[in-house]
Amino acid sequence: MRSDHVKSADELALMRRAARITDDVYDHVLDIARVGMTEKELADAILEKTLLLGGSGVSFDTIVAFGESGAEPHHVPTDKPLESGLLVTVDMGCVVEGYCSDFTRTFAFGEVGEEERRIYAVVLEAQKRGIAAVGDGVATRAVDSASREVIAEAGYGEFYIHGTGHGVGTEIHEPPTLNQKSEETLVCGQVVTVEPGIYLPGRMGVRIEDMVLVGENRPFSRHTTELITLR
């Protein structure tokens, strides 16, 4: 890997394989989610399916957050059981021959309220704006601003409590960093995440994350970013 973290064709092929496995694991998540399943049980199922599909492991400790747990960006899965009417956030990835994937979706398990849907729509628009801003020679903080402005204008600025993204490669977090303090500039061939979120303490959280290749601006994942409701 080059010092500027630009990926070769071979490296990108491994990362795309990792992303495909993660997509298939997320299909599994949507298939098995059920009332009474705990966050820990779903996280364990993600690891099991990742290994079954050919990943050498998960690229970081899987985050599964039901309802109010989603207000913690780095929530550690607990024995909290899944109930109808909750948002569910799943942040996961896998490793293929040393290269990582990183992916987050939030879905509705049963019908959720108007506020949940409104917040989801704001985060989705923030992610779209962030991805559109990614480009060769673009300041990383400009990508952060593109996402952050959407959330701030909707009145949730204080609840966006982390940066918009980071580089991915053999490490799940590598340069560049996409936040307001960064002095870095994007370069074609880097792989970065765009992952805005809104976190309302004690109530709910929404995060949507995709990896994108600088110069291509198309998510590695095939999964929709529209809100999925499981019934």
pLDDT value of position 4: 85
The residue behind tokens 């960093």 is 177
Instruction: Return the pLDDT at 3.
Output: 65
* Residue 35: strand pairing partners: none
Residue 7, token pair as written in the block: 């990926």
| Torsion sign (Cα): 83, 85, 87, 88 | positive
Lowest average pLDDT, out of 3-12, 24-33, 107-116, 174-183, goes to 3-12
pLDDT tens readout for residues 162-212: 999 999 999 999 999 999 999 999 999 999 999 999 999 999 999 999 999
- Tell me the two tokens of residue 147: 């996402």
Is 141:164 a contact under the CB 8 Å cutoff? Answer: no
- What span, in angstroms and rounded, lies between the C-alpha atoms of 144 and 223? 23
Tokens 């997320």 belong to residue = 26
Per the listing, tokens 């409590």 go with 161
Residue 15's pLDDT is 98
- The model's pLDDT over 53-106, given as tens digits with 9 standing for 90+, comes to 999 999 999 999 999 999 999 999 999 999 999 999 999 999 999 999 999 999
Alpha-carbon distance of 183 to 189, in angstroms, equals: 19
Read off the pLDDT of residues 38-58 as tens digits, 9 standing for 90 and up: 999 999 999 999 999 999 999
Over pLDDT 70: what percentage of the chain?
99
**Single pTM value for the model:** 0.97
Q: Is 118 left (phi over 0), alpha (psi -120 to 50) or beta?
A: alpha
CATH code for the domain defined by 9-230: 3.90.230.10
Question: Helix 140-153 vs helix 114-133: angle between axes, to the nearest 10 degrees?
Answer: 160
Taking 60 as the threshold, does the pLDDT of residue 1 lie above it?
A: no
Residue 31: band (very low, low, confident or very high) from pLDDT cuts 50, 70, 90: very high
d(CA 154, CA 26): 29
Q: Parse the chain into domains and list their residue ranges.
A: 9-230
Alpha-carbon distance of 105 to 176, in angstroms, equals 22
Spell 202-214 as b/e; 16+ CB within 10 A means b.
eebbbbbbbbbbb
**Distance, CA of 190 to CA of 198 (rounded, Å):** 26
Residue type, 86: L
Provide the CB-side half-sphere exposure for 53 (13 A, CA): 24
Contact between residue 146 and residue 181 where contact means Cβ atoms under 8 Å apart? no
